[in-house]
Amino acid sequence: MSYRSLFAVACAATLIAIPAWADGIKIMDPYARAANPNAKSGAAFMMLTNDSGQDDRLIAARSDVAKRVELHTHIETGDGVMQMTEIEGGIVLPAGATHHMMRGADHVMLMGLTGPLEQDAEIEVILVFERAGEVAVTIPVDNERKPAKGAHGG
Ligand SMILES: [Cu+2]
């Protein structure tokens, strides 16, 4: 086998391998909300399941509805006060794992909303994964949604 045909085989194998993990990320029960109609920021929550068979990581997100989109989590500052902070290095999603992004925990922060998040409207958010690449998610706005049981709210 010549060098050229070996190269062709390697390329073909790579192409076949892509779909196996490209759509292996499942997103369930997404919703977005803002604290009030005049809020400058909002947040999106969802459940991520990695069915790709390979470890992945959510590294970024973006959306046209906000000037800046960050991956946030809440940390306790020590005196019982919860503070939001950007997640360094993104959200690790091991193969087979489910990660629940919820109120009082990890969330997609929408900073500098370009307009109010109207109840029942749908927004589009692009999630950027290290392996799976960009995954577009249509997220319904649900300002009336109560925090999940056990969540700290806010
Ligand atoms: Cu936040």
Interval 55-87: pLDDT, tens: 999 999 999 999 999 999 999 888 888 899 999
Contact present, 60 and 90 (Cβ < 8 Å): yes
- Eight-state DSSP code of residue 61: E
pTM across the whole model: 0.80
Q: How far is the CA of 35 from the centre of ligand 1 (A)?
A: 12
Residue 68 within a domain: yes
Structural domain harbouring 40 = 22-140
Residue 115 within a domain: yes
Residue 53 within a domain: yes
Residue 45 within a domain: yes
Q: Where are the beta strands (DSSP E) in the chain?
A: 25-34, 41-50, 56-63, 66-76, 82-86, 91-93, 98-101, 107-113, 122-129, 133-140
Q: How far is the CA of 135 from the centre of ligand 1 (A)?
A: 21
Residue 4 within a domain: no
Q: How far is the CA of 18 from the centre of ligand 1 (A)?
A: 33
Q: How many domains does the chain have?
A: 1
Contact present, 30 and 136 (Cβ < 8 Å): no
Residue 148: the pLDDT is 75
**Residue 122: CATH number of its domain:** 2.60.40.1890
Residue 61: the pLDDT is 98
Residue 94 within a domain: yes
Q: Which residues of the chain have pLDDT under 70?
A: 1-23, 149-154
Q: How far is the CA of 5 from the centre of ligand 1 (A)?
A: 51
Q: How far is the CA of 51 from the centre of ligand 1 (A)?
A: 27
Residue 21: the pLDDT is 41
Q: How far is the CA of 9 from the centre of ligand 1 (A)?
A: 46
